[in-house]
Amino acid sequence: MSAALLLPTIWGASNPQVAWRDEARSKVEQRTAQPEKKTAKVPDAAPVTSVAFYRKHTENMLRRYLYASMQVGRAPSILCDPVGRGWASSRPVRTFEDAVIFVLDMEKCLHTLSSLHRQLLGRIVLQEYTQAEAATLIGMSVRTISYKLPEALDRLTEKLLASGLLVLPH
């Protein structure tokens, strides 16, 4: 497998499920008002991490994938058209084998996405169409595109994290 990109950890500010549970428990305790019965406090769960912060890293990985696949000598499989309009990342690839392994790993992650998500990522991230242009090409509304694109980036980020191409620090 190719070298993983190490990302910073961003923790959510609060856990709404834990806050809601504690609030509901305090209201019940106020209603019952039985001082001799004390319930043990439930320790707070770890903060929720969100993959939404890593969307830019995922976009950079897609651009790196475009560049590496062109270096390998093949068009990226995510693109519907044979020519890509997007610019490539300037990250150096050490060897040809590294580029091939990276391209194959990215394609494995991309093929687990739905065809709509692959099409959105190919048009907007790699080919650098605007959301309005991509909506015209795909045949959807701009509002739907603006809703589905972050969802597609989040799904791909989860796949990249699961495969080890993106690594969160511990």
Q: What is the largest CA-CA distance in the chain?
A: 75
pLDDT of residue 114 exceeding 90: yes
pLDDT of residue 20 exceeding 70: no
Q: What is the pLDDT of residues 81-104, one digit of tens each?
A: 444 433 334 345 577 888 888 888
* Mean pLDDT of the region 159-169: 83
Higher-pLDDT residue of 136 and 2 is: 136
What's the whole-model pTM score?
Answer: 0.63
**Would you say 47 and 12 are in contact if contact means Cβ atoms under 8 Å apart?**
yes
Q: Which residue, 153, 132, 140, is CA-closest to 63?
A: 153
Distance from C-alpha of 169 to C-alpha of 167, rounded to nearest angstrom: 6
Domains of the chain from N-terminus onward: 11-48 (no CATH), 51-167 (1.10.10.10)
Other CB atoms within 10 Å distance of the CB of residue 129: 20
Higher-pLDDT residue of 131 and 40 is: 131
Higher-pLDDT residue of 75 and 44 is: 75
- Angle between helical axes of 142-163 and 131-138 (0-180°, round to 10): 100
